[in-house]
Amino acid sequence: MSKILYTNHGEYEKLLINKPDKGNSIDFEVIKELNHYLTAIKQSSKSKYLILSGAGENFFCTGGDLHKILSYKDDRDKLEEYNFLMCEVLYKLLTLPKQTIAYLNGYTLGGGCELASACDIRIAKSTAKIGFIQGKLGVPTSWGGGTILKEKLQYDKWFTLLTEANIYSAFQAQKIGFVHELIKGKKVDEIEQYLSRSKEVSFEVTSTYKQIAIEKWEQSALFDRMKKEVSNALPHWFSEAHLKNIENFIKK
């Protein structure tokens, strides 16, 4: 079964991470399929928006697949490949020449927050729970998402979000500025309502604005800085504290 569900709605395209029985967590197959769709969308699509969300009702994405990560604990090359590939996916998503919207439809944790950071806008279901919990597991952000968010959020809010490593309500995450809008009702209607606010602005105009941001990120070598984040994080992945925290989750 596909780990990513793709649909085209004309004005917008949608990608859903499709592992609801495992918290929509990220494994190699998810990465490969995300990469495939993002490349195809970049090359050929003329839709105005991309919506990224999670299949099912409970999870947007709970970050790395902890079962898979633990199974690679003695394979440094594999873990390195996993993190760098995900970093590429985040950069591809960040620099897509259209408006990207993360719809946080449930738990958005760890790497899930990094993925959401790569989108232009984050809309959350009012019951969603959101947190850069990496710090409490013994690792810093590891896919370049910390570096991306630094470009987008006020410094003190960014620093607090990452160093407290708390799980926030959607309302609190909105107050911090990570979430732009809350959705209380039927999700498809409300997202379409949100999109309709900019319906008079063409795809070409929207992409021109996006290009301004992309050029700034290219000039400041953002992708290199994201890769540096991955390299700096890697040693922490093999720390006793990190492996113990993962084992504890799996044993529960």
- Comparison of 96 and 230: residue with beta carbon closer to ligand 1VU: 230
How many residues of this chain bind ligand 1VU (CB under 6 A)?
19
E-strand ranges in the chain read 4-8, 12-17, 49-54, 59-61, 99-104, 107-109, 121-125, 129-131, 168-169, 181-183
Residues sharing a CB contact under 8 Å with residue 214, sequence separation 6 or more, in sequence order: 95, 97
Q: Does residue 133 touch ligand 1VU according to CB under 6 A? A: yes
- Comparison of 100 and 142: residue with beta carbon closer to ligand 1VU: 142
Return the percent helix, strand and coil in the chain, to nearest 5: 55, 15, 30
Contact pick of 23, 54, 144, 146 for ligand 1VU (by CB under 6 A):
23
- Comparison of 41 and 148: residue with beta carbon closer to ligand 1VU: 148
Q: Does residue 145 touch ligand 1VU according to CB under 6 A? A: no
List the Cα angle 145/146/150 in 5-degree steps.
115
Report whether 234 contacts 142 (CB < 8 A).
yes
Q: Does residue 142 touch ligand 1VU according to CB under 6 A? A: yes
Contact segment (CB under 6 A) with ligand 1VU among 17-25, 88-96, 190-198, 223-231 equals: 17-25
Contact segment (CB under 6 A) with ligand 1VU among 56-64, 93-101, 155-163, 194-202 equals: 56-64
Residues sharing a CB contact under 8 Å with residue 73, sequence separation 6 or more, in sequence order: 79, 238, 243
Q: Does residue 161 touch ligand 1VU according to CB under 6 A? A: no
Distance CA 96, CA 99 (A): 8
Q: Closest Cα partner for 117 from 172, 173, 73?
A: 173
Residues sharing a CB contact under 8 Å with residue 241, sequence separation 6 or more, in sequence order: 138
Q: Which DSSP state fits 216? A: H
Q: Per CB under 6 A, which of residues 58..97 are in contact with ligand 1VU? A: 62-67
Q: Closest Cα partner for 31 from 4, 58, 50, 8?
A: 4
Q: Per CB under 6 A, which of residues 179..238 are in contact with ligand 1VU? A: none
How many CA atoms within 13 Å lie on the side-chain side of 67? 8
In the complex, the smallest distance separating the C-beta of residue 230 from ligand 1VU, rounded to whole angstroms, is: 10
In the complex, the smallest distance separating the C-beta of residue 25 from ligand 1VU, rounded to whole angstroms, is: 4
In the complex, the smallest distance separating the C-beta of residue 175 from ligand 1VU, rounded to whole angstroms, is: 21
- Comparison of 24 and 174: residue with beta carbon closer to ligand 1VU: 24
In the complex, the smallest distance separating the C-beta of residue 139 from ligand 1VU, rounded to whole angstroms, is: 6
In the complex, the smallest distance separating the C-beta of residue 84 from ligand 1VU, rounded to whole angstroms, is: 12
- Comparison of 21 and 74: residue with beta carbon closer to ligand 1VU: 21
What is the amino acid identity at position 189?
D
**Contact footprint for ligand 1VU (CB under 6 A):** 21-23, 25, 62-67, 107, 109-111, 133-134, 137, 142, 249
